[in-house]
């Protein structure tokens, strides 16, 4: 697994992907956090990081599928899948290696935003007046969400040999799982089941985490969705339907 992870990560670094992903994410978030008046912390006047945590998921909806789309689709297209599958690796080695490489890259993109925490904290009045547990909870939530998005991207990539199809499918699925259930629950047909529908989506659990209370139920939700997605890709890969 480590071998596949290293190889995948190296190929991110050797191609432009890693730099573009990290650069675009940080530039985008930086502009939203500090420059654009509508979302800027400076204009907002409250020392919190809501901008990052409420808009971050939407940036991820586009960014993460772009990272994951090549993982299996490209290997299938170029035939290197045959190479990988005839080496002494289990299907899980390959899936987890690719998943973790993508996840790691997203975490690396997220890491520098920790600086925002210190900036916002210093800007508070009095300085240091920031909801630290809330920020930690939100970071945990955002990281878990990134993990789920990566696993969705891996599934989308494993079912097709076309990277564009993989990208669109992954972005769509990420969107549905993130806020689709929430929006669906507002339909006037569920009556008492509306909360259940809402709980199926990421947004419900993400918001719960961002309050600063790291509830094991929410964490388990994220891990189960991620695991389920990886399991689906394992089933697809094991079928060897080519």
Partner 1 sequence: MSLVVKNLLKQYGSQNAVNAISFRVEAGEIVGFLGPNGAGKSTTMKIATGYVPPTSGEVSVAGFDVTTHPLEVKKITGYLPEHNPLYTDMYVHEYLGFVGRLYGIHGKALKSRVQEMVELCGLTIEQNKKIETLSKGYRQRVGLAQALIHNPKVLILDEPTTGLDPNQILEIRSLIKSISKNKTVIFSTHIMQEVSALCDRVIVINKGELVADDSLSNLMKLQGKSISLVVEFEGVVDDHELGKISGVNNVVKLDHSKFRVYVNEGADVRPEIFRYAADRKLSLLGLKQEEGSLENIFRELTAKQEA
- In whole angstroms, the minimum distance from the beta carbon of 18 to partner 1 comes to 13
In the chain, DSSP finds a helix count (H) and a strand count (E) of: 14, 0
In the complex with partner 1, which residue's Cβ is closer, 87 or 127? 87
Torsional class of 45: left (φ above 0), alpha (ψ -120 to 50), beta (otherwise)? left
* CA of residue 189 relative to chain centroid, distance: 31
In the complex with partner 1, which residue's Cβ is closer, 78 or 186? 78
Give exposure, 8-36, as e/b (b: 16+ Cβ within 10 Å): bbeebeeeeebeebbeebbeebbebbbee
Tell me how many degrees the CA angle 12-17-19 measures, rounded to the nearest 5. 100
In the complex with partner 1, which residue's Cβ is closer, 73 or 140? 73
In the complex with partner 1, which residue's Cβ is closer, 80 or 186? 80
Residues that bind partner 1 (CB under 8 A): 3, 7, 11, 14-15, 78-83, 85-90, 240
Pull the structure tokens for residue 7.
């190889």
- In whole angstroms, the minimum distance from the beta carbon of 227 to partner 1 comes to 23
- In whole angstroms, the minimum distance from the beta carbon of 228 to partner 1 comes to 24
- In whole angstroms, the minimum distance from the beta carbon of 217 to partner 1 comes to 37
């Amino acid at each position: 697994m480590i071998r596949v992870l290293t190889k995948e990560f190296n190929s991110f670094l050797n191609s432009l992907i890693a730099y573009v992903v990290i650069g675009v994410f940080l530039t985008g978030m930086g502009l939203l956090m500090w420059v654009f008046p509508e979302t800027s912390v400076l204009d907002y006047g409250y020392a919190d990081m809501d901008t990052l945590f409420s808009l971050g998921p939407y940036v991820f909806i586009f960014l993460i599928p772009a990272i994951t789309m090549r993982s299996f689709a490209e290997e299938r297209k170029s035939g290197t899948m045959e190479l990988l599958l005839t080496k002494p690796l289990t299907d899980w080695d390959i899936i987890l290696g690719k998943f973790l490489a993508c996840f790691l890259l997203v975490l690396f993109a997220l890491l520098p935003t920790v600086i925002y925490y210190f900036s916002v904290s210093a800007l508070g009045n009095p300085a240091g007046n920031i909801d630290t547990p809330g920020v930690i909870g939100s970071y945990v939530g955002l990281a878990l969400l990134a993990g789920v998005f990566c696993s969705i991207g891996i599934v989308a990539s494993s079912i097709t040999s076309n990277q564009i199809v993989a990208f669109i499918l992954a972005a769509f699925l990420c969107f549905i799982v993130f806020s689709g259930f929430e929006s669906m629950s507002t339909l006037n047909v569920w009556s008492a089941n509306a909360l259940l529908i809402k709980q199926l989506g990421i947004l419900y659990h993400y918001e719960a985490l961002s309050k600063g209370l790291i509830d094991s139920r929410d964490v388990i939700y994220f891990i189960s969705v991620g695991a389920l997605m990886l399991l689906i890709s394992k089933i697809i890969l094991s079928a060897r339907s080519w």
